[in-house]
Copies of this chain bind each other. A is one copy, B any other.
Amino acid sequence: MTTSTPPIQEHWLALLQENGYRVTGPRRSVVEIVANHHRALNPYQVFELARQRYPRLGLVTVYRTLEKLEALGLIERVHQPHGCHAYLPAAVGHQHLLLCQGCGNAEYFSGDDLDDLIGRIAARTGYQIKEHWLQLFGLCTACRAGAQ
């Protein structure tokens, strides 16, 4: 019988190993939660969920694990109107977030082309533009149906 553990999770644990970190029970539980969720979770939410898998988990360990996952580029902080302390699996390549205002579901999209706009703003302001943040908010199909 082969294990059905999602590959993202295994990849994250392997990356922790490779970087000299130990793979422990508490870390497994945190990774399992954050790697497989489609909504941004704050440290306490991660704690509540992960401790169902690893009951003696401490909140402090959640903070420390999130810190390491962020340093490894595996998760990233999501900025939202109601708070900026929730995390999601990091974008792969050049992607931006689309967030559902109803259920909090998050998806990445790619294919934005802002070169034109950026060129125009650069010319107008004299700035050399190096980065951009783009985030879309709306209602997913499920929430659209629910709210009519």
Residues of chain B contacted by A132 (CB below 8 angstroms): 134-137
Number of copies: 2
A72 CB within 8 Å of chain B: no
A98 touches B136 (CB 8 A): no
Contact pattern, A 96-120, Cβ under 8 Å of B = 1, otherwise 0: 0010110000010101110001101
Which of A33-41, A63-71, A139-147 has 4 or more CB atoms under 8 Å from chain B?
A: A139-147
B126 touches A141 (CB 8 A): yes
Given A109-B121, A111-B120, A128:B137 Cβ within 8 A: no
Residues of chain B contacted by A84 (CB below 8 angstroms): 79, 84
A130 touches B111 (CB 8 A): no
Residues of chain B contacted by A113 (CB below 8 angstroms): 117
A8 CB within 8 Å of chain B: no
Contact pattern, A 23-41, Cβ under 8 Å of B = 1, otherwise 0: 0000000000000000000
